[in-house]
Each structure stands twice: as C-alpha cells, then as structure tokens.
Amino acid sequence: MENDAYTLALWHVKEGREEEFVRAWREDLAVHFLNLPNPPGIGTLIRSVEDPRLFYSFGPWNSLEDIEKMRSDPRTTEVIGKLSALCDEAKPGTFRLVLTLP
C-alpha cells in the first residue's frame, strides 16, 4: 500500500516552554523536513485542550524507507534532540496505516 507510512510523536513539554517548542517545531523541524530528498507531504502539530503542555505531531510519508533515511540523517537527530530537550517526555515513533474509515 502506497503512502501507508506515518510518523507520530507524543511531546509533553516542560512548563513555560510551550511557545519555544512550537517555534522550534515550525522553524527547525519543519524546515529540515522540507529539505529532505523525499519530504513528507504534510506535517501536523496538535495541542491538547485539557493539557496545554501536551502535543502530538504526525504526518504521512511515501515509505518506511523514507522515514528510515530521515531518522538516520544527523540533522534529524540534532533537531529531535532540541525538541526533546524542551520536554519532560518525548516519544517519536513510526507507524503503518491499518485502516481508514470514510
């Protein structure tokens, strides 16, 4: 199945660092991803209404191989490290699409 690879991350940001986190996600991570050889089609960052320190990011990729290449890029490690340093908890992961509903 084409386009069935996704990244999903949970980010629980340190108190008072929320805006810095959003800025780093937009300016560092998003810009880096756009410069990858096979960038994701779209990236989304959402924030919990109940806990404004809780964020999730996700997006589709063309393939699991593209995600593996992205994760092995030294700049990715640097950017993810910067984001993680702003968090009490950070859990990036790789997922495969199982089902969609209309």
In a domain, 64, yes or no: yes
Q: What are the beta bridge partners of residue 44?
A: 58
Q: Could you tell me the residue range of the domain that residue 14 belongs to?
A: 5-96
In a domain, 22, yes or no: yes
The C-alpha R_g of the chain, in whole angstroms, comes to 14
Q: What are the beta bridge partners of residue 92?
A: 9
**Helices and strands, counts by H and E, the chain:** 4, 4
In a domain, 37, yes or no: yes
- CATH number for the domain harbouring residue 56: 3.30.70.100
Q: Is 55 helix (H, G, I), strand (E, B) or coil?
A: strand
pLDDT by 10s per residue, the chain, length 102: 456 899 999 999 999 999 999 999 999 988 898 888 888 878 999 999 999 999 999 999 999 999 999 999 999 999 999 999 999 999 999 999 999 898
Q: Is 43 helix (H, G, I), strand (E, B) or coil?
A: coil
In a domain, 101, yes or no: no
- Given a contact cutoff of 8 angstroms between Cβ atoms, the answer to whether 7 and 58 are in contact is yes
